[in-house]
Amino acid sequence: MEAENKSEVMPMPRIGDKAPAFSAVTTQGDIHFPDQYAGSWVILFSHPADFTPVCTSEFMTFATLEEKFAEANCKLVGLSVDGLYSHIAWLRTIKEKIEYRGMKNVEVKFPLIEDITMEVAKKYGMIQPGESSTKAVRAVFVIDPKGIIRTIIYYPLSLGRNFDELYRVLVALQTADEFSVATPADWQPGDDVIVPTAGSCGVAKERMDGNEEMTCYDWFFCTKKIDKETILKSVLKK
């Protein structure tokens, strides 16, 4: 029994780790993750259960925004510990019966993973015993085109996600990669970005003596403009 319990212990994935690999049955057929998604960003997210109101609101929102995420080279993959037939029945109910915040006839086209064994949920630390030992929390993993985990966000069962924020995170990560910058608090495309901190006394002095390309509040804190059009052109390129 002790050996069996030890075998169930899995390390939590971390930012910078390779996304744990798995194969699974989904509402869109079998998938092999993350290899199948090489070259694309992916948002892998879990929800506690089918036929629950918060999850229904989230799936309708994600399905409505799927094209917007796709334009930013990002694919969506959902997961719960329910079975395939439950998933299918729930998604049909959403399309045929649910109207919420002006959304109706919503068809969920991205894959929803069947995970009744909780194998995938455990690999990704989606089961939080303090919250529930039988349901996945609302976890979000943003995974880059190389299959590396870049962002992890966990929400409790009672809290629906902010999808504007998830899109902002995706665009900010792509902006940081494309332009070798960082993004400050509450950043939106078109806002100033953070220039990497000066790595030498000479560069620090040069910045404080004046640089037309950036604004420096002190030697370690400099920003510059990248206009919204340039950001979106980079992010939305196909």
Measured between alpha carbons, how far is 114 from 25 in angstroms, rounded to an integer? 6
Catalytic residue among 55, 74, 216, 222: 55
Other beta carbons within 10 angstroms of residue 98's beta carbon come to 17
Measured between alpha carbons, how far is 193 from 182 in angstroms, rounded to an integer? 6
| Residue 138 annotated in ligand binding | yes
From residue 59, give the alpha-carbon distance in Å to each of 7, 77, 157, 167, 190: 33, 11, 14, 15, 29
Question: What's the gap between Cα 117 and its chain centre?
Answer: 23
Q: Is 74 a catalytic residue?
A: no
> Cis omega (within 30 of 0) on the bond before 11?
no
Question: What is the enclosing helix (H) or strand (E) of 24?
Answer: strand 22-26
From residue 216, give the alpha-carbon distance in Å to each of 43, 98, 126, 196, 205: 35, 51, 42, 11, 11
Feature table: binding site for substrate: 138
Feature table: binding site: 138
The residues annotated with a catalytic role in the active site are 55
